[in-house]
């Protein structure tokens, strides 16, 4: 598969009242067209920072992001973002919320009838055609997220960026949304980057899981290939030894290997501090 996105040598430094804070250090990742990649790690490991840099909402301090040979320097419709909060405008219907995105991207290229057909098509993709004329306060949380995904898909993005899109949903609704996302990705062959804290979700949905080390100076600790056949059935996978093994590998990184990394880092910092004091005393 050809590389569509190249995240190259990214460092991200934020200025704080206590001085510079290095959130990311040396993040390198190549993503292929049609690939589903999950970013996972403990809170504060820089997952959202990586996503925001790809979205063009942040500019990396060093390094950069290249999409289809062009450097990313600002937000654009070729990178649609779905946040944990659906961000729908409450006074507009589901149809009208999607219409806003369609008109922004295709306002001059689609006729009125084509626009209507395209909006309805994207709402059908997420099984929301029955509620297209309802406002956000008239539908459930899961349905709101479906509309948010329809709005993102309606822009025909080359990359779909998802920041814990199902994090606020109950377990059953979350499972339905995961199944819908797998159906959509199989049909459209989208390239997806998703942030999640849920190990089972990452293994179920992904082609690769990118495991981040804890900050400061967070980076990619390991990348795990998920070679499970598609389409995937969650009930069948529950008894699949390969699924169990992959799940175990992610948990092992998060709760065992990460502790070792932190221990080495603390030992290194302590050693550097001791060496610095000795130098001062010698002077």
What mean pLDDT is predicted for residues 89-99? 96
Assign 180 a pLDDT band (cuts: 50, 70, 90): very high
Assign 282 a pLDDT band (cuts: 50, 70, 90): low
Judged against a pLDDT cut of 60, whether residue 279 lies above it is answered with no
Crossing angle of helices 94-106 and 141-153, in 10° steps, is 20
Judged against a pLDDT cut of 50, whether residue 258 lies above it is answered with yes
Share of the chain above pLDDT 90, in %: 78
Judged against a pLDDT cut of 70, whether residue 186 lies above it is answered with yes
Q: Is 180 helix (H, G, I), strand (E, B) or coil?
A: helix
Structural domains in the chain plus CATH codes: 3-78+157-282 (3.40.50.300)
For residue 244, the Cα-to-chain-centroid distance in whole angstroms is 23
Judged against a pLDDT cut of 60, whether residue 261 lies above it is answered with no
Average the pLDDT over each of 96-110, 147-161, 260-274 and give the range with the smallest value.
Answer: 260-274
Assign 280 a pLDDT band (cuts: 50, 70, 90): very low
Q: Which of 66, 59, 51, 52 is nearest to 2 (CA)?
A: 66
Judged against a pLDDT cut of 60, whether residue 4 lies above it is answered with yes
What mean pLDDT is predicted for residues 181-198? 93
Judged against a pLDDT cut of 50, whether residue 113 lies above it is answered with yes
Q: Is the dihedral of CA 52, 56, 60, 64 positive or negative?
A: positive
pLDDT of residue 135: 96
d(C-alpha 155, C-alpha 93), whole Å: 18
Q: What is the mean pLDDT of the chain?
A: 90
Edge to edge, the sheet with strand 3-16 lists 19-32, 3-16, 62-67, 70-71
Edge to edge, the sheet with strand 159-163 lists 79-82, 159-163, 191-195, 36-40, 208-212, 220-225
Assign 270 a pLDDT band (cuts: 50, 70, 90): low
Q: Which of 260, 232, 193 is nearest to 38 (CA)?
A: 193
pLDDT of residue 34: 94
Q: Exposed, middle or buried by CB within 10 Å (0-12, 13-18, 19+), for 251?
A: exposed
Share of the chain above pLDDT 70, in %: 90
pLDDT of residue 167: 87
pLDDT of residue 2: 86
Tell me which DSSP letter residue 218 carries.
B
């Amino acid at each position: 598969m050809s590389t569509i996105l190249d995240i190259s040598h990214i460092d991200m430094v934020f200025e704080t009242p206590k001085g510079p804070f290095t959130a990311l250090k040396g993040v390198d990742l190549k993503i292929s067209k049609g690939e589903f990649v999950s970013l996972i790690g403990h809170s504060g490991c820089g997952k959202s920072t990586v996503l925001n840099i790809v979205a063009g909402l942040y500019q990396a301090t060093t390094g950069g992001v290249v999409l289809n040979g062009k450097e990313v320097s600002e937000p654009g419709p070729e990178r649609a973002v779905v946040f944990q909060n659906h961000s729908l405008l409450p006074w507009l219907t589901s149809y009208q919320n999607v219409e806003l995105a369609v008109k922004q991207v295709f306002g001059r290229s689609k006729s009125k009838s084509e626009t209507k057909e395209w909006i309805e098509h994207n709402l059908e993709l997420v099984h929301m055609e029955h509620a297209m004329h309802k406002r956000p306060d008239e539908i459930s949380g899961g349905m709101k997220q479906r509309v948010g995904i329809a709005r993102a898909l309606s822009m025909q993005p080359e990359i779909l960026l998802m920041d814990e899109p199902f994090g606020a949903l109950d377990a059953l609704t979350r499972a339905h949304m995961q199944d819908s996302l797998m159906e959509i990705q199989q049909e459209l062959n989208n390239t997806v980057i998703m942030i999640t804290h849920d190990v089972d979700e990452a293994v179920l949905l992904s082609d690769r899981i990118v495991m981040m080390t804890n900050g400061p100076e967070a980076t990619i600790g390991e990348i795990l290939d998920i070679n499970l056949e598609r389409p995937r059935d969650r009930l069948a996978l529950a008894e699949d030894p390969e699924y169990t093994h992959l799940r175990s590998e992610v948990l092992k990184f998060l709760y065992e290997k990460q502790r070792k990394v932190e221990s080495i880092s603390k030992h290194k910092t302590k050693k550097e501090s001791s060496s610095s004091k000795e130098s001062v005393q010698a002077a």
